A and B are shown apart, each in its own frame.
Chain A
Amino acid sequence: MAIIFYMASAIAVIATVMVITRHNLVHALLYLVVSFLAVAIVFYVLGAPFIAVLEIIIYAGAIVVLLIFVIMMLNLRQESVAQEKQWFSGKIIIGPLILASILLVEMLYILTSGEPAGLSENMIEAKAVGMSLYGPYVLGVELSGILLMSGIVGAYHLGRQKKKVTHRFLEKKEE
Chain B
Amino acid sequence: MNVIPAEYGLILASVLFTLGLVSLLIRRNIIFMLISVEIMLNAAGIAFIVAGSKWAQPDGQVMFIFILTMAAAEVSVGLALILQMYHQLKTLDSDAANKMKG
Q: List 14 A-B contacts (CB under 8 A).
A: A6-B8, A16-B19, A42-B46, A46-B53, A55-B42, A88-B26, A88-B28, A111-B11, A132-B61, A148-B72, A151-B72, A155-B80, A159-B83, A165-B87
Cβ of A140: which chain B residues have Cβ within 8 Å of it?
Answer: 62, 66
Q: Give CA–CA (A144, B17) in the complex, Å.
A: 23
Expressed in whole angstroms, the Cα–Cα distance for A98 and B17 within the complex equals: 15
> Would A111 and B10 be within 8 Å (CB), given that A132-B59, A159-B84 are in contact?
yes
Measured in the bound complex, the distance between the Cα atoms of B64 and A111 in whole Å is: 20
Interface residues of B (CB under 8 A from A): 1-12, 14-23, 25-29, 31-32, 34-36, 38-39, 42, 46, 49-50, 52-62, 64-66, 68-77, 79-84, 86-88, 92-93
Interface centre among A29, A88, A104 (most CB of B within 10 A): A104
Main secondary structure of the interface of A (DSSP, over half): helix
Question: Contact: A20 with B80, CB < 8 Å?
Answer: no
Cβ contact within 8 Å between B6 and A108: no
On whether the beta carbons of A66 and B76 are closer than 8 Å, the reply is yes
Q: Chain A 124-142, CB within 8 Å of chain B: the 1/0 string? A: 1000110111000100100
The one of A12, A101, A118, A154 in contact with B4, judged by C-beta atoms closer than 8 angstroms, is A118
- The verdict on A118 contacting B12 (CB below 8 Å), with A17-B19, A50-B61, A155-B80 known, is no
Residue contact A59 to B65, C-beta cutoff 8 Å: no
Give the residues in chain B near A29, CB-CB below 8 Å.
35
